[in-house]
A and B are shown apart, each in its own frame.
Chain A
Amino acid sequence: MDKEIKSFTVSIYTENNIGLLNRISAIFQRRHINIESINSSFSEIEGVSRFTIVVNMTESQIKKIIGQIEKQVEVIKAYYHTDEEIIYQESCLFKIKSDLLFEERQIQNIIKESNAKIVTVNKEFFVLEKSGRKNEIELLYRELSAFGIMQFTRSGRIAVTKEEMKITEMLAAFNN
C-alpha cells in the first residue's frame, strides 16, 4: 500500500449551486484532512463551476475522496493530479510603504528580479502583484518582509492539466 503523502490538486466540475462548497469541504473534514488551498470560479463550460483544491495525502486516500466527491448529485466530474501533471499558479498581493521604494534601493532590484508587477502607487503605499509558484511567492515574501510589509494576501492555487479532460463530451452525451 502506498503510504507516501503527496500534494494533489483536485479539480471538480459542478453545477453552480448554493451549498455545494459546504458539501465538498465536508468530505475532507470528516476524514480530518486539512485543505491547503481552495479556489472556485466558472469554468470553460457555460453554467459549470470549477473548484481547485490542494491537499496533502496518500494516493489511496485521494482516490476514495474523489469517489465520495463524484457521488454528490451536483458534481459532474472530479479529477486528481500530481504537481507534475498540471500547470499551476498562485497569485499574491503585497502592500508596502511608498517611502521604502525610494529609500531602499534593494527593493527595486527585488521587484525586477522577481517579475512582480506594481499594480498601483500613491504617496502612502504601493501594491505589488506576483503570480507564480508557491516557492517563488514565499521567496519574495521573505525578501520583502525584511523591509516591512503592511498587508499580504495570497490566492489559492489555480491549475490546468496537461492532459485533456473529457468533461465537455460527458455533458454533450447527457444532452443527447
Chain B
Amino acid sequence: MNTETVKIKQGKTKTTVRISGSEAVVKCLLAEGVDVLYGYPGGAIMPVYDELFKYQDKLHHVLTRHEQGATHAAQGYARISGKVGVVMATSGPGATNLVTGIADAQIDSTPLVCITGQVASHLLGSDAFQETDIVGISTPVTKWNHQITKASEIPEVIAKAFYIAKSGRPGPVLVDITKDAQFEEFNFNYEKCTGIRSYKPVPKTDILSIENAAKLINQAKKPMIIWGQGIILSEAEEQLKAVIEKAGIPSAWTILGASAIPTSHPLNIGMVGMHGNYAPNKLTNECDVLIAIGMRFDDRVTGDLNKYAKQAKVIHFEIDPAEIDKNVKTDVAVLGDAKESLSQLLSLLNENSHPEWHQKFKDLYAIEFEKVIKNDLHPTKEGLTMGEVLNEINMQSKGDAVIVSDVGQHQMIACRYAKFNQTKSNITSGGLGTMGFALPAAIGAKMAAPERDVVAIIGDGGYQMTIQELGTIFQTKVPVKIVVLNNEFLGMVRQWQQLFFDKRYASTEMTNPDFVAIAKGYHIEAKKVIKREELADAVKEMMACKDAYFLEVCVEKEDNVFPMVPSGASVSDIRLE
C-alpha cells in the first residue's frame, strides 16, 4: 500500500492512501460505523468480498441463503438499532433478488444501503453475463440510487448513500459498482456527507403552525391522536407521551407505530385500521380534532376516504411535505421532525383530561372484549387460537420481547395482542405486506439487540417463502425464537374468500411439510404443539432455550380476524363478526 500526500483544493494537504476500489468500499463502511452487513457473493462483487475476508475481524458479514433474506435481515437490524442496514449482492439475479426487500424498506421508511456488483463498465449495455440494469429496475423503489464506474467516485457516493438513507424520512439507497471500478486503484480519502444542495431532509417548522395546532387541541372537546412510525424514527417517544398526558388525549397507533408508547399506558387506545381496535376506528368518525403524527393515512388505516373523519379538524405532524394532503385534507400541517415539533407543542398545551370522551373508548373496548378479544385470548372451543398463543408469549416474556411478525392473519393478531413495554419492539412489514419478511428480519433484529428476546411470529405460508434462512440461523447461531402458527391455509386470503367470494377457497389450502423435521435438519431445536394443555410448557421451553428454537403451533384452520373494516368501507362501519 502506498501512502502519498496529495494537494487538494483550497491549498490544504491531506494524506491519502492508494488502494483498490473494493478496499475503499470496505473502508467507507468502516468509516460509517458499520459493524455487520448481510449479503451473498457472486462474480461481479468478488473483489469486495475478497476485501471483506481481509477485514473480517472488523466487519461481520452474514451470509444469508437468498439475497431477499439479506435485505429483510438488514431491515430488522435497522429498525431495532436505528442505524443504516447494509446489504451486499452481486449483479444480475443477485441484484434483482434485492428488489422486494428494497421496495419494502422504501414504503416502510427503513434506512438501507445496498451495494451491488455490476459487470465491467466496457460491458455495460451489452447483455453481458449476469448483467441487469439494477439502477433502472430499482429507481421507483429507492430513495436514491447511483452507478459507479470509476474507483475515485466510491468515497463520495457511499458517503452520500449513508447520508441520504438515514436523514429526513429514511429509505433505501442502492449503489451499483462496476467490477473494473472495484479493481482500479486510486488515492483514497473519506469525508462524511453533511449536506446536498438539492435535498432538504427536514423541512423548517413554522412556529405559527404549531401555535395553530395548539389552539385547536386546547379548544377540542374530543381530540384523538394517531401516531405512526415517525415517532420511533425521530425518537420522539418521550415527547409524545408528555403531550398525550398533558392534554389527556386518547391515542391510537398505526401498525408501524406500535410499541412507541407502552401497551399498558391508560391513554393508549390501541391500533387503527382494517383489523385495528373497535374504539379508535369507530371514534375516528366522532372526534372533533384528529392529530396525526408521523403517519401517512395509508388506505388500510383510513378505509373510504370520503367517509373518513369528515367531522374533524385534522392536524398533521409530518417530516415529508409530499404526505401533506396526499390522502386526507389537513387543516393544520406541521412540517418538521416530530421530536422537535412535539416539544415545542407541549409548552403551548393546556392541561386537560376529557373524562367523558375517554369513557366512550372504554365502553367500546368493553364491547370488543366481549365479542372478540375474550374468545381470541381465552377460547373455550377445542381448537387453538392464534390469540391465545400470543397471550401465552405475553405472559412469559412479560412484554419485554421484540415481536417480529410476517404478513397475514397472524400478523394482525400479533400486532393486536402483543404487549410492549418498550419502543422498537414491533417489527413487521406494514406498507408492502411482504410475506417471508419475518424470519430473516428476526435475524437482523436479534443481532441489533442481542440482550433482548426476539420472537418471530409467522404463518405457515410466509414461513415457506424464506424458510431457507434457517440455514443462516444455524450457521450464525443467532438465537431467535420462531413460532409458526399453522392453520394450513393462506389464512387472510381464505378469510376474504369466505367473506367476499362465497367460500371459494381458490389456491389457499396448503399441504405442509414436517416443519419440525425441517428445523431439526438445520440442527435447530424444535417442537410441535397440537393441544392447548401443551402450549404453556412449550412456550416456556422456547423462552428458556439459549439457542435458536422453533415452535409450531397447529391452530384452528378457519378462524377469522375481527374486528374488520371491509375493503372500501368506512372505518366506522367496522365489523365485530
Contacts and interface: CB of A to CB of B under 8 A. Distances in A.
Interface size range on A against B: 20 to 34
Nearest to A71: B322
Q: Is the interface of A mostly helix, strand, loop or mixed?
A: helix
A67 B320 CA distance: 9
A18 interface: yes
A175 interface: yes
Interface stretch (A72-80, A115-123, A128-136, A142-150): A72-80
Given A73-B196, A73-B199, A171-B197, A64 B322 contact: yes
Contact of B198 (A22, A30, A76): A76
A64 B139 contact: no
Contacts of A26: 139-140
B434 to A, nearest CB: 18
Contacts of A15: 198
A42 to B, nearest CB: 15
Nearest to A27: B140
Contacts of A67: 321-324, 326
B321 A74 contact: no
Given A67-B326, A68-B322, A14 B198 contact: yes
Given A63-B325, A70-B322, A19 B139 contact: yes
B300 interface: no
Interface size range on B against A: 20 to 34
Interface in A42-84: 63-64, 67-68, 70-71, 73-76
Nearest to B324: A67
Q: Is the interface of B mostly helix, strand, loop or mixed?
A: mixed
B9 to A, nearest CB: 15
B302 interface: no
B127 to A, nearest CB: 19
A14 B198 CA distance: 7
B355 interface: no
Interface stretch (B142-150, B450-458, B552-560): B142-150
B168 to A, nearest CB: 9
A102 interface: no
Interface string A18-34: 11001100100010000
Contacts of B195: 174
A71 B164 contact: no
Interface of A: 14-15, 18-19, 22-23, 26, 30, 63-64, 67-68, 70-71, 73-76, 171, 174-175
A-B pairs, top 4 by smallest CB distance, nearest first, are: A67-B322, A174-B197, A76-B198, A73-B144
Interface of B: 135-136, 139-140, 143-147, 164, 195-199, 320-326
Given A64-B325, A73-B196, A75-B198, 10 more contacts: A14-B198, A15-B198, A22-B139, A23-B139, A26-B140, A67-B324, A70-B322, A73-B143, A73-B198, A175-B197
13 contacts: A19-B139, A19-B145, A19-B147, A22-B136, A23-B140, A63-B325, A67-B324, A71-B320, A73-B144, A73-B164, A73-B196, A73-B199, A175-B197
